[in-house]
Amino acid sequence: MANSKYEYVKSFEQPDTLLPNTWIVVRIDGRGFHKLSDRYAFKKPNDRRALDLMNAAAVEVMKDLPDLAIAYGVSDEYSFVFHPSCELFERRSAKLVTTIVSTFTAHYIYLWGTYFTENPLQPPYLPSFDGRAVVYPAMGNLRDYMSWRQVDCHINNLYNTTFWTMVQQGGMSNTDAERELQGTVSSDKNEILFTRFGINYNNEDEMYKKGSVIYRQYQLEDAKPASNPSIEQDEGSSVPEAISKSQQEKLKKLRRKAQVVVNHVDIIKDEFWERRPWILSGRPGKLPEA
């Protein structure tokens, strides 16, 4: 065909397959959300509508891609995690990342009006997201990644809650509040909130303090007694089990049947993971009895 003369350009595409047997984390971030949150009058320090919208869009991504093991969101970012056994799109990085970014964006835009009933979108200033993929070789690295994001959530939320309380309730200027908070540690901020404003930070909304975890729901298992988690290089052998195409389809169906839930809990300690072993094992659990 006449096209063959130009078709050589296809050979310039470089492969971007992610290393097999590693955890794939796709993190997306809102583009210019600082400015955007002003334009659409997001409430400070947390706008429930904005967070609910983030979660709703992420739930749709989880439903659309049954291969996803878990997702974690805070502020204008969301991390989506694929299990090491995942073979979706032959693990091509750009394909995985753009599919998630685009699906997320589509639902975010579509659902905007449901959450922001009074603030319609003002083109061309539409929200958008960028994203990237990172792979982690060991389960410990993945757990640490998740812990990193949740600790970050805590640190930022404590700061923002204190800062905005000082400004909104304390009548301070942004600059003054910022200056006073410089160099303070967590206990200082808790103290400011409590003594000056009678606010017990522990009573703040769990979603604000812990962020949002999304996963498929199966029957919870008992937590293990006093575990002694190894923080060493994995010792297990790791032949990726040969899973037949038909079995993969079966697993996919099982995953589609499970309910996708949003939760605001600690994912740093072992308990969360021990009671939901299907997340790290990559094998669906038992569906909860009706």
The CB density around residue 283, as the number of other CB atoms within 10 Å, is 12
Helices (H), the chain: 4-7, 33-39, 48-64, 93-115, 139-168, 174-181, 186-191, 197, 206-210, 245-257, 270-275, 277-281
In terms of CB distance, is 51 or 146 closer to a copy of itself? 146
Whole-angstrom distance, CA of residue 105 vs CA of residue 97: 12
Site for a copy of itself in 252-271 (CB under 8 A): none
Least CB distance to a copy of itself at residue 263 (A): 20
Site for a copy of itself in 53-72 (CB under 8 A): 60, 63-64
Considering the rule CB under 8 A, would residue 234 count as an interface residue with a copy of itself? yes
Least CB distance to a copy of itself at residue 204 (A): 18
Options 152, 178, 271, 274; binder of a copy of itself; rule CB under 8 A: 152
Residue at token pair 């697993």: 251
Biggest CA pair distance of the chain: 79
Site for a copy of itself in 168-227 (CB under 8 A): none
- What are the angstrom distances between the C-alpha of 248 and each of 115, 253, 254? 36, 9, 10
Site for a copy of itself in 73-112 (CB under 8 A): 84-85, 93-95, 97-99, 101-103, 105-110
In terms of CB distance, is 45 or 84 closer to a copy of itself? 84
Considering the rule CB under 8 A, would residue 155 count as an interface residue with a copy of itself? yes
Considering the rule CB under 8 A, would residue 127 count as an interface residue with a copy of itself? yes
Options 116, 164, 204, 282; binder of a copy of itself; rule CB under 8 A: 282
In terms of CB distance, is 140 or 170 closer to a copy of itself? 140
In terms of CB distance, is 172 or 251 closer to a copy of itself? 251
In terms of CB distance, is 12 or 225 closer to a copy of itself? 12
- What are the angstrom distances between the C-alpha of 140 and each of 136, 137, 202? 9, 9, 28
Whole-angstrom distance, CA of residue 184 vs CA of residue 178: 10
Least CB distance to a copy of itself at residue 22 (A): 5
Least CB distance to a copy of itself at residue 228 (A): 11
- What are the angstrom distances between the C-alpha of 84 and each of 21, 267, 280, 283? 4, 19, 9, 12
Whole-angstrom distance, CA of residue 52 vs CA of residue 115: 8
The CB density around residue 279, as the number of other CB atoms within 10 Å, is 19
Considering the rule CB under 8 A, would residue 134 count as an interface residue with a copy of itself? yes
